[in-house]
Amino acid sequence: KAGVTQTPRYLIKTRGQQVTLSCSPISGHRSVSWYQQTPGQGLQFLFEYFSETQRNKGNFPGRFSGRQFSNSRSEMNVSTLELGDSALYLCASSLGGSAYEQYFGPGTRLTVT
């Protein structure tokens, strides 16, 4: 089975712009979670989607949003980018239901200048 894929792998944006990141989960996985990883704050939970519904959300401003499609693929969007949004954005998929095991993609490295 193919693993979790994320596109693009690297991205450079300017302050004030917006960005959309994409995640394709492992085939059959219906839950997708997004995390932000920075040297200072570590791995922080952004949100989780299951069957196109956001079920849980971390403590991030409304500039961070996401969605999930019927094929379980997910996108996250960050609007009005700030320098502090520079981070590795990781997507993880799991079967959902009572299966907690999460499998991470390689991440998208976002740099905001």
Identify which range of 13-21, 35-43, 60-68, 71-79 contacts other proteins by CB under 8 A: 35-43
Binding mask 45-74 for other proteins (x = CB under 8 A): x--x-x---xxx-x----------------
Contact 100, 36 (CB under 8 A): no
Q: Which is nearer to other proteins, 48 or 85 (CB)?
A: 48
Rg (C-alpha) for the chain, rounded Å, is: 13
Distance CA 39, CA 5 (A): 23
Contact 15, 83 (CB under 8 A): yes
- Contacts with other proteins, residue ranges (CB under 8 A): 4, 31, 33, 35, 42-45, 48, 50, 54-56, 58, 90, 92, 94, 98, 100-107
